[in-house]
Structure 1
Amino acid sequence: MKIFRKELLVFIITIFLSVNAACQTKKSSVTESESKIEKKKKKKRKGKVRLPDIDLSHWKVTLPVTNEKGKPYEIEPPEILDFAKNEKAKPYMYIDSTKGAIVFHAMPTESKTANTKYTRSELREQMEPGNNNVNWTFADGAYMKGKLAMDQTTKDSEGKYHRTIIMQIHGRLTNEQRDLIGAKDNNAPPILKIYWDKGKVRIKTKELKDLNASDEEILHEDAWGNDEGFNFEQEVGFKKFTLEVKVSEGKMVIILNKSEYKVYENIHMRRWGIFENYFKAGNYFQSRDEGAFSKVRYYELEVSH
């Protein structure tokens, strides 16, 4: 009888331990399953909000809307870091969190900058935040890389897409150069304009009209003319693409999608070394047609010197 009781007790303990172990295994399995579900939910939630990889601390933006003085509205650092909260900026520069990009929206308005008839929603590099007077030369070297796409653009009366400038290198006179030639401002020509042009990437640069012109003479804007332009072979259309611009003394290289290169290394580039420069990126819309507009998405933008 005692042996039977002992065996019964062992049997009951064994059953208890087995049931307890099974419960623990089930609990562990449920916990692991719930953990996986929660991770999937978090991943899904995270996937809904994507932010562009762009540091705006060294950029200011010009928008196609006027300020209280009737001039183009600009936002400089540090205010530009909170541009998404700026009510005046919202229609023209905003975050598309589904695509992880900043959208630059431009259309014909009365908000035109000096020396142009077109409007823009465009960033201007500021090496020293808030200061336009600190810039770089080709001898200093410079690099800009952007990942971008045309989001939307209208067509002209012939059914052709309107074009827009998506990147620039703009020249600038120093105060001394400005005073030397009696210019009204520090504006100098853009040595580089990169267009989205009917689905392709087109480059325009400047050339000296007179190669024998003096250093003082070439400071004048009318000393420079436009080259014939260059089109990359591949068509980017409305797809995402990458552009790189590399500058060094007497040389400028533009790279599309790491597969096509255009190199400028000539007397014009060497003589351009007299100017200071700054990068621009965004949407400088090239039409005054009624109802026309374009939207350019920038996913990434980086600059180094």
Structure 2
Amino acid sequence: MNYIRKELLISILILFISVNATCQNNEGSVTESGIKTKKSKKRKKKIRLPEIDLTNWKVTIPEGTGKGGAISVEPPEILDYATNKTLQPYMYNDSTKGALTFYAYPTSATTANTKYSRSELREQMVPGDDNTNWTFKQGGSLKAKLAIDEVSRDENGKYHKIIILQIHGRLTNEQRDLIGQKDNNAPPVLKIYWQNGKVRVKTKKLKYTGVNSIGILHEEAWTDDEGFNFEEEVGFRKFQIEVKVSDGKMMVSLNKTEFAVYDDFNMRRWGIFENYFKAGNYFQSRDEGSFAKVSFYELEVNH
């Protein structure tokens, strides 16, 4: 009888040890400090691609044959940017963020009328055609969600400036010929900067309000306004910019909470020009070793 009782106790003990070991294998292990840790499970990283339609955009990158010779890629070739080896260093998918990233640094490959390099999109209302653009009377809107990923600092420790969005003016062929200009370039009526963690807006105003309809076509007729700084510090977080243009009026908003509204004589006179949107990384430094990365999560234009 005592023998049977002893055998029964041994069986119960073996069962308890077996169950306890199984529970530990399922739930984790106990460290020397007595803290139970769960076994980590390997998870596959989810690939996310940006949902940005590039059908009506061309891109310019800081590579090419010197000043005025920066490479541009138009539709339909731009739609294959992810496999385009020329574009890949400057415009690529960040699949961990679900963003389209633009990288720029100082090179000799710039566009005409500037000393700065860019990895920047240029709107084309008709894919592959720079000659079809829009006026303020026709109107337009742009919505973008973006973030500054990285940017270098200058010798004083301040971050280098980046133009992230623009509305650029353009002369029609008739206007170009009328004033004897060699190209169709007109001033940018809107520049939106990222500057030391804040968003800054600059626009254009006439130097002389009485300038006539021919004189107003010259770039020299216009100058920069004093600029406007939004209060919110966006830093390196995501933020949303919205631009709305109508006849004689322009509005810029940050995160739908702050607004800069331009509704004056200058905007009404600007109606003489054609325009197009620009978006990306127009890097404002020539310092050696400087660079910036800008990621766009959303970009949408309507007319």
Q: TM-score, normalised by structure 2?
A: 0.85
Give the structure 2 partner of residue 146 of structure 1.
144
The two structures, once aligned, show a CA RMSD in angstroms of 1.4
Alpha-carbon offset, residue 68 of structure 1: 10
Of residues 221, 227, 230 in structure 1, which corresponds to 2:228?
230
Distance 1:175 1:120 in 2: 26
Question: Which residue of 262, 266, 269 maps to 1:268?
Answer: 266
Kindly provide the CA deviation profile for residues 106-160 of structure 1, in whole angstroms up to 9, marking residues without a partner as x: 0000111000000000000000000000000000010000000000000000000
Contact preservation (8 Å) 2:168, 2:190: yes
Aligned residues: 262
Instruction: Point out where structure 1 has 5 or more consecutive residues left out of the alignment.
Output: 1-40
Distance 1:186 1:153 in 2: 32
Aligned residue among 200, 203, 206 for 1:202: 200
Distance 1:254 1:70, change over 3 A: closer
| In the alignment, structure 1 residue 79 sits paired with structure 2 residue 77 | yes
Alignment partner of 2:236: what SS?
coil
Per-residue CA deviation, residues 238-293 of structure 1 (Å, 9 max, x unaligned), is: 00000000000000000100100000000000000000000000000000000000
1:60 equivalenced with 2:58 (yes/no): yes
2:295 pairs, out of 265, 285, 297, with 297
Cα 1:102–1:140 shift into 2, 3 Å: same
Cα displacement string for residues 30-85 of structure 1 (whole angstroms, at most 9, x for unaligned residues): xxxxxxxxxxx9xx65x611111200000000000006998111110000000011
* One-letter identity of the residue aligned with 2:164: I
Q: Residues of 1 paired with 2:225 and 2:244: CA distance?
A: 19
Which SS does the other structure have where 1:122 is aligned?
A: strand
**Moved beyond 4 Å, runs of 4+:** 67-70
- Give 1 or 2: higher helix fraction: 1
Identity over aligned residues, as a percent?
Answer: 66
Among 158, 161, 166, the residue aligned to 1:160: 158
Paired residues for 1:40-55 under 5 Å: 45=44, 48-55=46-53
Q: Superposed, which structure 2 residues align to 1:122-141 within 5 Å?
A: 122-141=120-139
Does the 8 A contact of 2:119 with 2:280 survive in 1? yes
SS for the counterpart of 1:130 is coil
Distance change >3 Å, CA 68–CA 116, structure 1 → 2: closer
Long gaps (5+) in structure 2: 1-40
| Matched residue SS, 1:253 | strand
Match of 2:247 among 235, 246, 249: 249
Q: Write the distance in 2 (CA, Å) between the matches of 1:105 and 1:197.
A: 17
Task: Write out per-residue CA displacement over residues 12-39 of structure 1, whole angstroms, 9 at most, x where no aligned residue.
Answer: xxxxxxxxxxxxxxxxxxxxxxxxxxxx
Measure the CA separation in 1 of the matches of 2:122 and 2:110.
15
2:172 counterpart of 1:174: yes
Distance in 1 separating the partners of 2:236 and 2:294: 10
CA-to-aligned-CA distance 1:166-208 (integer Å, 9 cap, x gap): 0000000000000000001000000000000010000000000
SS in 1 for 2:100: strand
CA contact (8 A) 2:64 2:70 kept: yes
SS of corresponding position for 2:176: helix
Distance in 1, matches of 2:65 and 2:107, equals: 13
